[in-house]
Amino acid sequence: MISGGYKMPYAIDCRNTVVAPSFHQLYRPIQSAANGMPPLEARGHRPLKMTFDDQLKALIFFHLEEHVSAQHLLQVMEENAFARDHIAPEQGIKKSSFAEAINSRGLEQLIHIYQNLQANAVSVLPKEHADLGELIGIDGSLIDACLSMHWADYRKGSKKAKVHLGFDLNRGIPRKVFLSDGNGAERPFAIALRKTDTVFLR
Phi-psi region at 82: left, alpha or beta (left = phi > 0; alpha = psi -120 to 50): alpha
Which DSSP state fits 136?
Answer: E
Axis-axis angle for helices 20-33, 52-65 (nearest 10): 130
Q: CA 155 to CA 163: how far, in whole Å?
A: 18
Query: Is residue 1 within 8 Å of residue 90, measured between CB atoms?
Result: no
Question: Along the chain (202 residues), what's the average pLDDT of each consecutive run of 10 residues?
Answer: 40 50 83 90 79 91 86 91 91 86 83 86 74 74 57 53 79 79 73 65 60
Q: What are the boundaries of each domain within the chain?
A: 20-107, 127-201
User: What is residue 154's predicted lDDT score, i.e. its pLDDT?
Assistant: 47
Beta bridge mates, 166: 138, 176
How do residues 69-81 score in pLDDT, each as one tens digit? Answer: 888 999 999 999 9
Q: CA 99 to CA 47: how far, in whole Å?
A: 16
**Which of 108, 17, 14, 120 minimizes the C-alpha distance to 56?**
108
CB atoms near residue 76 (< 10 Å): 22
The full length of the chain comes to: 202
User: What is residue 54's predicted lDDT score, i.e. its pLDDT?
Assistant: 92
pTM for the model: 0.63
